Structures are given as structure tokens and as C-alpha cells.
Amino acid sequence: MSPTNPSVSPATGSALELFSLAGRTAVVTGAGGRLGPVWIGALLSAGARVCGLDLPRAELCPALAALLETHGPQRLALVEADVTSRESLARARAQCEERFGPARILVNSAGVDQPPSAPKASWLLQDIPPEVCRGILEVNALGLFQACQEFGGAMAEGGGGVIVNIGSLYAGRSPDPRYYEHLPLSPPFLKPPLYGMSKAAVVNLTKYLCVHWGPRGVRVNTLSPGGVLGGQDEQFKARFQARVPLGRMAVEKDLTGPLLFLVSDAGAYVTGQELLVDGGYTAW
């Protein structure tokens, strides 16, 4: 392992230097999703160049448009990619390398969930269609693995890097159906069981990749947010927040510090871990 590899070198220097990502290229899947711009903004703020990956049909969300306007094409590029297609990911990696050089940071944020507002969002547990389950697993588990293969494999061959897989509070806890009792849906809304199942798989995959790629200078961790504030109704928020020791849901800035810790030299000896950012939810 090279002593100059930022993923394996001893943590030295000032606090600001430890968190600096200047000169490094990062890739974020699910760039236009709920949290994609949060991760991208954090990486840009620490000095990285960022390639944001998303589906060809994805619309440019306001948060991502604002980042493009602020940082310009010299720091941020948007590349079309579908994580369920290895060929698509390979093309995206080639474009990212041509634009900014090899990626040394990968944030796997692409994911599928099913909020209560989604069309046909409620079924009896025994009636959930297999196509709904399959779609979640293909993106959240298999798609994430393929992104790790494509970009993480290149890191392992090229001197190391850092992977952060975005997990969830529900990787290790069941959603409480009482949070949704007030919703006028019949059958009552259920958080998709395959969502938590897929995120639990992400935590296990993180440990697997840590073991296999650690000797080649690749650190792999999971960052699992708790409930993140984002348009939920007041009754849901009240019920959820009553369960959180800090008494509130996460806001976007609560997530940026943990991400930068994991991807920077500040976390140089941290790998194979799940970092829960949940306000103490899991302490009960």
C-alpha cells in the first residue's frame, strides 16, 4: 500500500487538513434523489470534484441545479447511469474518469422507497406484489453492489479509496406502523418490508467488502440516517419525534459532518462500520 494513498495514510495535520478533500474525485449515485444533493454539497464544500450519477430520465431538482450554478462544470458533472445495469455503470465510470480522473470516493445513495403519497401505496402484508419487492431489491441491494464492483473494483486495482453506502435506521429496526395510523388509506399504509431488508443487506455487504478490499487500501462503511425532515405530515412528525431522545428529526446539515468524517483522512482507521445518525432513536 502506498503511503500517499489518502485512504490508508496515517491521520496527520490540522483538523481542517484532515477533513479536506482537495484534489480528490468523488462519485455519488442517486444524485437527484432526496439526499443526493446533500452528499454532493458536502463533498464540494470540502474541496472534492464530484460526478453525480442518475437515471437518464431524471429531472434536475432545484437543489442540484443550485449546486451546478454555484460550483460550475469545473467541480460538478452530472452523468447518466442506471445502477441496475453494469454496462451503464461502466460507461459512467469512463466518463467520470475522462472528466475528473479516477474516483477515490464513492457514495452509494441511489435507492427506492415507497412513501405514503405514492400511487397504490398500501397493501395487506401478504398481498404486496412481487414486482414492488423486486424493484426495491434491484436498486437498493443489487444496484449498490454493482456500483461497488465498478468503482470500488477500480479503487482496489488503482491504489485505494473510500466507499460510503447509505443505509437506514430501518436496517436494524422495524418501522412502527402506528406512525401511519392517521392516514386515510385502506389497507393501512405499511413501510415496504423489502426496504429495511435491502438496507440490512447493505450493512452486511459493507462488512464483506471491508474484509476483502481493506488489504488493498479501500475503506468501506455504511452511513445510516434516522428520520430526515422532508415534508412529512404533522402527526407523523409528532409521533416519530416522541421516540427520538433529541426530540426532533434530522435536518440536512446533521448528515454532512458524518459523511465527511467517513470519506476523509479524519476517518482513516474506520472501516466496516455502520454509523447511525439517528438522534439516539436506537438507544432505547
CA 169, 170, 174, 177 torsion: positive or negative? positive
Q: How far apart, in whole angstroms, are the C-alpha atoms of residue 172 and residue 84?
A: 25
Grid cell locating 195: 426496504
Q: How far apart, in whole angstroms, are the C-alpha atoms of residue 89 and residue 142?
A: 13
List strands edge to edge, sheet with 218-225.
Answer: 76-80, 49-54, 25-29, 105-108, 161-166, 218-225, 274-277
Burial track 32-63 (b if 16+ CB lie within 10 A, e otherwise): bbbbbbbbbbbbbebebbbbbbbbeebeebeb
Tell me the three state secondary structure of residue 53: strand
| DSSP one-letter string for 89-142 | HHHHHHHHHHHH-S-SEEEE-------TTSTT----GGG--HHHHHHHHIIIII
Is 208 an active-site residue?
no
CA 221, 47, 255, 118 torsion: positive or negative? negative
Catalytic residue among 195, 208, 269, 281: 195
Active-site residue set: 195
